[in-house]
Amino acid sequence: MQFYLDTFIIAFAYAAMGWGIFISLKIFNIPDITTDGSFTLGAAIISVVMPKFGWIIAMVISLIGGFLAGCATGFFHTKLKVNALLSGIITMTALYSINLMIMGRSNIPLLGLSDIFSSVSIFNDVVFDKLLVIVVTLVVLGLILGLILTSDYGLSMRATGNSESMIRALGVNTDTQKIVGLGIANAFTALSGGLVAQSLKFADINMGIGIVIFGLGAVMIGETLAQFFKIKSIILYLPAVVMGCLIFRLLMAFCLQLGVDPNGLKLITALFVLIFVSLPQFKKRFS
């Protein structure tokens, strides 16, 4: 039980990163590899700032850090005309060094510090406190993102990824939209990195490696769920992505319980993503 409750907490902590991928991939149609670096950036900032200034300031700074990282990728892509994928790879590579510079070493333990999860003490079991904190955090973040996406600004963001010619003809600077949009996406990713670091009680320089694949898988599962439940509203896509993260983490937890070697988890992650990405093709063939 404890094992699965922990899985729920971690899955929800990853959900903000899933929303980040959702923004870059599904709204802007940009495969953004920056995620791997900005996720660790969020954790790195938490590990250094939180002990001195507390978790609120640390999370605000990690949000800003992630936003700037995303903006950098957007700038390379739109202003320097670098391929979107390559722009993300450049920022991600640069972030590896930046994260090391921030942390000063490759791993920082966060044991015994006051963090977002220790801010609430209602239940006898600390796991339920953690679950409550992460659910409330996600609801607040989801509401903020939902409000942005349904506003006029969000509409023009969605149109930028959907029909660039149309939205430019309606007076929108799509370059700025992409820069800010990738900024928002990576701000959510960095926030997620910070939440995961606080949950696991450590920050590690390698914790973001391959995370984009996990996020992609979560978004794909979320999309499959959205199609199954015939969800069209952009607001309802957000809980679908959260469910995607949860299902993905539960599948991995189940594999671990079956005795799968933890070293093989990345391989399993890749296989899961491959299955979910190719599901529509299977569906077509069998129908």
Residues that bind other proteins (CB under 8 A): 147-148, 150-153, 155-156, 158-159, 162-163, 165-174, 232
Q: Going along the chain, which residue ranges are E strands?
A: 107-109, 202-204
CB of 233 to other proteins, least distance (A): 10
CB of 34 to other proteins, least distance (A): 24
Token match 């992505």: residue?
241
DSSP one-letter string for 80-97 = S---HHHHHHHHHHHHHH
Nearer Cβ to other proteins, position 118 or 150?
Answer: 150
Nearer Cβ to other proteins, position 80 or 152?
Answer: 152
Which contiguous run of DSSP H or E holds residue 201? none
CB of 220 to other proteins, least distance (A): 17
Nearer Cβ to other proteins, position 26 or 132?
Answer: 26
Of 140, 191, 195, 266, which is closest to residue 35 (Cα–Cα)? 191
Nearer Cβ to other proteins, position 21 or 108?
Answer: 21
Nearer Cβ to other proteins, position 147 or 277?
Answer: 147
Contact 142, 20 (CB under 8 A): no
CB of 281 to other proteins, least distance (A): 21
Q: Which residues pair with 202 in a beta bridge?
A: 109
Contact 193, 179 (CB under 8 A): no
Structure tokens at 56: 């609120």
CB of 279 to other proteins, least distance (A): 20
